[in-house]
Amino acid sequence: MKKIIIDQDNSGERIDKFLTRGFFLNTKMSRGEIAKSIKAGNILINGQIIKSSYILKTHDLLEINLVKKKLELAPNKKIKFKIIYQDENLIIINKPAGLQVHSAKLFCDYGANPSETLVNGLLYKFPEIKTVGDKPENRPGIVHRLDRDTSGIIVVAKNQKTFLKIKKKFKKREVKKTYWALVIGNLGKLGKQGIIDRPIARAANYKKQVIAGEKTKTKKRSAITRYKILKVWNNFSLLEVYPQTGRMHQIRVHLASLGCPIVGDKKYCPKNISKIKNISKQLLHAKKIEFKLENKKYKFEAKLPEDFQVFLNYLDESAVKS
């Protein structure tokens, strides 16, 4: 445990901002990770558990008890996912909504060794990917990711050579990704297609992403999303979406910024309209992916989840009856 007496130069600052500078930690941590450690009682002020918004005072006794745990991923045969395609280099997965791709960083007690992520299931079926990737101890073989509640295609590399080549293609934006999204509202009023070009940044509380403005203090990142309207009902629009950049929650934030949040999105949909009958997951699906590797063109498509298709059928039936 480290003990620090706060001096006058550091008083008046929020404790989470103070600790993100990493001066007194064994490793650099995000504000989110620090907030969880504070809540868990691993960071104390004068022997007391405080909030991450606590303002430091001169002579405060700061006690830090953080131990980074080594992550050891365990194979798990109970993890269910559909394999669309595989060869000696690639695995193409149709990830179900609700399944986390990989664990977050592990610190202290709030990061108990996870065993129910996609990578746990992948390690059971494909143990050869254990050493593949830029951080194989955490996300072996994973070239890109989807949000926990987003379903659809994920590309997994079976070897390091393939991993590096595909990662480079993602970085150079040579991979075409196509999503289907059902949103609340008639987006057709803005035209049959459109481009959303709005920078994104983390919210001040670090709990979600926001459209960055002039007064945004967190790091701003450019974000561009193209979309095409496939079908419109009374108060819903089905979109085909093509993200040109790959920011966290990009599609969800961009569509919500137009006043048309994704159906079932608990984070970016206003609470008064977030609950829709029989919908428990957000209806955002990574439907297609296209790329070229070793002079061979690859194109894959993932079938819509059953609940997504059932709701589309319901909208069609309701429209006929009305």
Joined tokens for residue 270: 């206003």
Which residues does 52 contact at the CB level (< 8 Å), separation at least 6? Answer: 14, 15, 16, 31, 34, 35, 38, 39
Joined tokens for residue 192: 């049959």
Which residues does 274 contact at the CB level (< 8 Å), separation at least 6? Answer: 261, 264, 265, 266
Length of the chain: 322
Question: Contact, 117 vs 100, CB < 8 A?
Answer: yes
Question: 3-state DSSP call for residue 3?
Answer: strand
DSSP string across 231-289: EE-SSEEEEEEEESS--TTHHHHHHHHTT-PBTT-TTTS-HHHH--TT--S--EEEEEE
Query: Distances from the Cα of 183 to the Cαs of 168, 229, 243, 271, in angstroms?
Result: 32, 10, 16, 15
Distance of CA 146 to the CA centre of its chain: 6
**CA atoms of 199 and 294, how far apart (whole Å):** 34
**CA atoms of 289 and 176, how far apart (whole Å):** 6
Catalytic residue among 7, 9, 134, 147: 147
**CA atoms of 270 and 260, how far apart (whole Å):** 10
Which residues does 3 contact at the CB level (< 8 Å), separation at least 6? Answer: 61, 62, 63, 64
Question: Contact, 10 vs 16, CB < 8 A?
Answer: no
Residue 147 a catalytic site member? yes
**CA atoms of 296 and 26, how far apart (whole Å):** 45
Residues catalogued as catalytic: 147
